[in-house]
Each structure stands twice: as C-alpha cells, then as structure tokens.
C-alpha cells in the first residue's frame, strides 16, 4: 500500500468512496462536479489541510482528510482533525483502515501535534467500535448545526 497526497486525478475515486456509504448515499453524489472540484482545490492549496489516499496496484482504495488546527488551549497545542475516512467496500477487513489511521497518527505526531481527534456519526456503530479499538476515547459530546 502506498500512502500519498491526493491529486486532482484522484478526485473521481475519492468522491466514489464518499458516496459509497450508508450516510454518503444521502448527502454525496458519485459524480465529480464543480463543488467537489472547488473543495479539492481549496484543500490542496491550504497548508493546514491534507487529503490522503491509499493506493494499491494503481487503484485508490481508501482516503481521509486531516486538518491541522492551531489553538491556544492546552498551552498552544496543535491538534490534527481527521475526517472523511473511507475504505472501499471490497477492501474492508484487510487492515487498510488500521494502517491508514496509524499512518495519520504517526504523521500528526511527527508534525508535533499533541492530539488527534475525530468525530463519527452515531449511526456508524462499526466505525465507532473501530476507533475505540485504535485507542480513541469518547471524551466530548459533539454537536452540529446545519446551515
């Protein structure tokens, strides 16, 4: 497996990963459009954001986004926020997700981050158990306000 920064040519595979999900089917589309292209360009141009893909045999099989957030709390601690973690359905239960999460945790540690955080939808019970097995702990109650 190769872990690398996504390029524009990876966008169709990433969008397909986002849409191939019980929740993604209701809020994403598998077709790359102007909104996805604009979001990719903004992520790619932002030095505090990384869109990472896992490639195997020239196929994108997983992805995630990590955002590095500076903060004043915890004595100026920088944290890594991990989002949009997806593993292609036919690649699940092979250790791809574990390898991807270990990779991003190591990357955050090497950058000097003192914390890796993420949220997962309460409907994703398997994902929740997955993150607990990796050592993540439910320390906060998350809230969202759709705009």
Place of tokens 């019970």: 125
CA torsion through residues 119, 46, 97, 10, sign: positive
pLDDT, tens only, 64-109 = 999 999 988 888 899 999 999 999 999 999 999 999 999 999 999 9
Total domains, the chain:
1
Is position 110 within any domain? yes
Q: Which domain holds residue 18?
A: 2-133
pTM: 0.89
For residue 79, what is the domain's CATH number?
A: 3.40.630.30
CA torsion through residues 57, 110, 87, 29, sign: negative
Is position 140 within any domain? no
Q: How far apart are CA 28 and CA 18, in angstroms?
A: 7
């Amino acid at each position: 497996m190769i872990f690398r920064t996504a390029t524009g040519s990876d966008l169709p595979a990433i969008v397909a990963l986002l849409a191939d999900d019980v929740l993604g089917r209701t809020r994403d589309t598998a077709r790359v459009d102007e909104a996805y292209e604009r979001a990719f360009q903004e992520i790619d141009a932002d030095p505090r954001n990384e869109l990472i893909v896992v490639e195997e045999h020239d196929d994108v099989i997983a992805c995630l986004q990590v955002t590095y957030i500076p903060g004043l709390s915890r004595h100026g601690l920088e944290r890594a926020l991990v989002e949009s973690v997806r593993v292609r359905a036919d690649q699940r239960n092979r250790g791809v997700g574990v390898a991807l999460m270990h990779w991003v945790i190591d990357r955050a540690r090497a950058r000097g981050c003192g914390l890796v955080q993420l949220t997962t939808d309460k409907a994703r019970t398997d994902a929740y158990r997955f993150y607990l097995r990796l050592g993540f702990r439910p320390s906060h109650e998350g809230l969202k306000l759709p705009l």
